[in-house]
Amino acid sequence: MDRYQTAATYADRIERELRGLNAWQSQPLPDAAYKSKVAFFADTMAFCQWLQFVLLVRVRGIIEARGGFPTQSSVGTYAVRELDGIDEAGGLIQALCEFDDFIEGLDGDSGR
């Protein structure tokens, strides 16, 4: 499995976890929600919204364009903090931590 297939598998897994938590939204966010300069858009959207509307869109865009992946990821670490105390979120946290490991394991290989 190449890096793009692996990334697609993670994206699908993260989506399944969000849906399992009933955190998947059918309605898009207003344009104003994307006008953040804060990490994870924490001032304009909830973390699960950021996962759906920013992270997954970006990851799937990279896959489709066969583009370069970032050199680092800390979404799993952030998830541990944001989802602390939500027992049902364990699968999502695990998926995001494994996604971080995948990105970090690319060793700066931008996919080109």
pLDDT digits (tens, 9 = 90+) for 37-93: 999 999 999 999 999 999 999 999 999 999 999 999 999 999 999 999 999 999 999
Q: What is the dihedral of CA 12, 59, 24, 74, to 10 degrees?
A: 100
Main-chain phi, psi angles of 24, to 5 degrees: -85, 130
Query: What's the CA gap between 19 and 16, in Å, rounded?
Result: 5
pLDDT band with cut points at 50, 70 and 90 for residue 111 = very low
For residue 22, the one-letter residue type is: N
Domains of the chain plus CATH, in order, are 3-24+42-104 (1.20.1440)
pLDDT digits (tens, 9 = 90+) for 5-53: 999 999 999 999 999 999 999 999 999 999 999 999 999 999 999 999 9
32: helix, strand or coil: helix
Name the DSSP class of 33: G
Q: Are 76 and 108 in contact (CB under 8 A)?
A: no
Tokens of 85: 């105390």
